[in-house]
Structure 1
Amino acid sequence: MEKVLIVIGDASETLDTMYPYYRLQEAGFQPVVTAPEQRRYQMVMHEVKPGWTITKEWEGYTIDCDVPFSEVNSEEYAGIMFSGGRAPEYIRYDKDLVRITRHFFAANKPIASVCHGVEIPAYADCVRGRRMATVPKCQFDLEVCGGIFVDEACVIDGNLVSGRTFHDNGHYVGPWIEMLVKARDAAVVT
């Protein structure tokens, strides 16, 4: 069974993480959670409540890290998913995560990103000239690093599939998994 990385940290968004986690299993892939260190992480849920102009945050489920960034051998993985929430704001500076991120872009493997997840490939200098969806408050992070902001539920740019928030899960996760399946099937034929 091919493995696919899901990048998280404390305050990763629960739905951004768990929806693709289970969809990967349904498609016959092994989701592997990677984070700064091997331990249990607290996820959160986000919503802009009616009448609010800023996101409210609640505690969500917890999830265990399967392999820390420092131990990831990127060659072993078919694809990667950058989960949203607040985690990317602080984990993007991890040198091993930067190494991992650059590998997937250079190897042209299927990549998914949602919400604040864009901050990781942006910091790793992998978004120049690439079209991506993200939550509007991360538009600056994308554009200052040379990316192109697109306000749509699913943006596909080559091997990169992105969505704005967990509200877009039903739009962008499927096309990303289709890329993974197509790559897996092509590898079996060769």
Structure 2
Amino acid sequence: MSQKKILFLTGDYAEDYETMVPFQMLLMVGHQVHAVCPGKVAGDKVITAIHDFEGDQTYSEKRGHYFVLNASFADINPADYDALVIAGGRAPEYLRMDRKVIDLVKYFVNNNKPLAAICHAIQILTVADVVRGKKLTAYPAVGPEVTIAGGHYQAVNIDEAVTDGLLVTAPAWPAHPQWIAAFLKVLGTKIEL
């Protein structure tokens, strides 16, 4: 397997599993992963939120773990990376207002580099105007934003993923097995057991 260099975007109150699990799994299979957050540097922490599906009309939210960033957002050059992963949760609500985040997403899409986004991370993609004509999924409450932005929202089960070219999306953390497997396929990562 050829090691890929992956940029991982997260932030305060990103979903806990959607931050921890993909970051750790991508490292586990041998990729280099730089976790960043605007306004923070390597060694800083973000606090995560745990979203759970407990039978209410929407997910519940609890305080999660601290996650230590291993790179500084201000120092990154997107040309140095093979792919981008964006965590979901509440962080995308405010990250999508950062012009540098939007430019970063556009760079990866415009340069045909793999991009994986989950849950509310798709809110960043809609603001970046990179979903037009694409098939993708998101947390169901984000579906109308996908449609308004010209994307073709796919209402899949919470544990499924959608791939359109180099874009891999999923509705929430129960889809990790399919979402991460699909992203590894797009990356060309082969795991030998």
TM-score when normalising by structure 2? 0.89
1:122 has 2:129 as partner: no
Cα-to-partner distance string for 1:87-118 (whole Å, 9 max, x where unaligned): 10111111111111001101111110110010
Trace 1:15-164 onto structure 2 (pairs within 5 A): 15-38=17-40, 39-50=44-55, 52-152=56-156, 153-164=160-171
- Structure 2: stretches of 5+ with no match in the other structure: none
Cα-to-partner distance string for 1:110-154 (whole Å, 9 max, x where unaligned): 110110010111101111111111110001111111111102211
Contact kept in structure 1, 2:50 and 2:64, CA below 8 Å: yes
Letter in 1 for 2:22: P
* Post-superposition offset of 1:162: 0.7
Following the alignment from structure 1 to structure 2, what is the Cα–Cα distance between the partners of residues 100 and 66?
18
Deviates more, 1:26-35 or 1:79-88: 26-35
Q: Residue 180 of structure 2: which of 168, 173, 185 is its match?
A: 173
Give the structure 2 partner of residue 186 of structure 1: none
Aligned structure 1 segments of 4 or more residues deviating by more than 4 angstroms: none
Following the alignment from structure 1 to structure 2, what is the Cα–Cα distance between the partners of residues 46 and 137?
14
Following the alignment from structure 1 to structure 2, what is the Cα–Cα distance between the partners of residues 151 and 82?
20
Name the one with the larger helix percent. 1
Following the alignment from structure 1 to structure 2, what is the Cα–Cα distance between the partners of residues 53 and 117?
21
Following the alignment from structure 1 to structure 2, what is the Cα–Cα distance between the partners of residues 86 and 48?
16
- Structure 1: stretches of 5+ with no match in the other structure: 183-190
Following the alignment from structure 2 to structure 1, what is the Cα–Cα distance between the partners of residues 153 and 69?
30
SS of 2:51's partner is strand
Q: Residue 2 of structure 1: which of 4, 12, 16 is its match?
A: 4
SS of 1:49's partner is coil
TM-score when normalising by structure 1? 0.90
Contact kept in structure 2, 1:84 and 1:114, CA below 8 Å: yes
* Post-superposition offset of 1:6: 1.2
